[in-house]
Amino acid sequence: MWSLSRRRFLRSATAASFAIPCLWRDSAAQEGWPARKLHAVCGFPPGTGADVFVRFYAKKLQDAVGKPVIVENKVGAFGNIATEYIARAKPDGYTIGIMPGSSFLAAAPSLYKRLPFDPVNDFEHVALLSRLPFLLVVPNGRFHTLADLTAFLIDKGEDASYASIANTSRASELYKAQFGLKTVEVKYKEAAAALNDLYGDNVAFLHLDAASAQGLLKAGKLRALATSAADPTPATKEIPSAKQAGILNSNIYSWWSVEMPKGTPRPILDRLEAIFRDVAVANDTIAFLANAGSDPYPGNGLELKKVLIDEINAWKGYVRLAKIEPT
């Protein structure tokens, strides 16, 4: 009996000897973090609407933790470069992805044949932040309603084209599928070049994220004919929703999330989740979002992961419906 008990004791002691350092590391990570500057990764060029989003949330994080948060713009491959960078970063709590998870993670598996990361399993999903639809925009004064644009595109057939930027084009393909349009896609790497061709009547329309469109709408340079969301949203309630405009197959949002490398210590994740939960519903955040055509969309890590998985499945349906071939 004594020998058996002694063996059990030794086994327990050995197991504990491995567990205690792990617990100590997590505790140390929580107590000492952050000890230096953090890096917030942005998949868009500086000065874009998306870059403004990242910098807003990065500043809020900086205020909360008392350490500098440096924004790093990792541009290219429709967000895949930034997303892979986050997935491969050291999981020490100092690399944070603030991104449109709807496109960088949820849509990506349906749009690309090969991804250098697993959207669900290569990340620690920290928090949901906000949500905004894409806006179907045209030069102000040319078309007044979606029916006007649709009639023009039907008449022009393949002689008409539309601009696409990254994954925003998928909302355009759903619009085309709804009305059987033959409009040709013209791809652009960034919004500025697409907008120049839109103003020059080289392309007929563009789906643009609400944050990037707001200033141009207020300046009278663009008119929004419909959102990509099925139902009206608080921040874009004056613009017809997709369903109201007759695009019955579309319910696409750009939702923003906080992502970190897999294996980031749980105490750090818990602290960040709490910080971003408060940030998401703060009065100045709500005001900032409203000005950008966006709405608060708070959620914890578990809620974010569920939204992600649901959206991955939804995008499979969008791709089939719009007959989009993965690249």
What are 238-243's contacts with CB under 8 Å, separation 24+? 239/135, 240/146, 241/133
Estimate the share of the chain in helix, then strand, then coil, as percent rounded to the nearest 5: 50, 20, 30
Structure-token pair, residue 147: 């029916």
Q: What is the CA radius of gyration of the chain?
A: 23
Q: Domains (ranges, CATH) in the chain?
A: 37-132+254-322 (3.40.190.150), 134-245 (3.40.190.10)
Q: Are 82 and 261 in contact (CB under 8 A)?
A: no
Report the Cα 196 to chain-centroid distance in Å.
Answer: 25
Alpha-carbon distances of 39 from 62, 74, 92, 195, rounded to whole Å: 10, 12, 11, 31
Q: Are 279 and 296 in contact (CB under 8 A)?
A: no
The 10s digit of each residue's pLDDT in 247-287 is 999 999 999 999 999 999 999 999 999 999 999 999 999 99
Report the candidate in 163, 243, 174 with the shortest Cα–Cα distance to residue 205: 163
| Cα–Cα distance measured from residue 145 to residue 246, given in angstroms and rounded to the nearest whole number | 11
Q: Are 98 and 258 in contact (CB under 8 A)?
A: yes
Number of residues that this document lists for the chain: 327
Q: Classify residue 79 by its DSSP letter.
A: G
Extended beta strands in 197-303, E state? 206-209, 222-227, 253-261, 295-299
* CA dihedral over 116, 117, 118, 121, signed as positive or negative: positive
| Cα–Cα distance measured from residue 118 to residue 52, given in angstroms and rounded to the nearest whole number | 27
The DSSP secondary structure of 104-148, one letter per residue, reads IIIIHHHH-S--SS-TTTSEEEEEEEEEEEEEEEEETTT-SSHHH
Q: Is the pTM of this model over 0.85?
A: no
The 10s digit of each residue's pLDDT in 108-143 is 999 898 999 999 999 999 999 999 999 999 999 899
pLDDT band per the 50, 70, 90 thresholds, residue 6: very low
The 10s digit of each residue's pLDDT in 153-172 is 999 999 999 999 866 678 99
Alpha-carbon distances of 188 from 138, 164, 225, rounded to whole Å: 16, 6, 21
Quick check: 28 pLDDT over 90? Answer: no
| Cα–Cα distance measured from residue 296 to residue 114, given in angstroms and rounded to the nearest whole number | 32
Tell whether omega for the bond before 34 is within 30 degrees of 0, i.e. cis: yes
pLDDT band per the 50, 70, 90 thresholds, residue 296: very high
Q: Across the strands, what pairs with 124?
A: 260
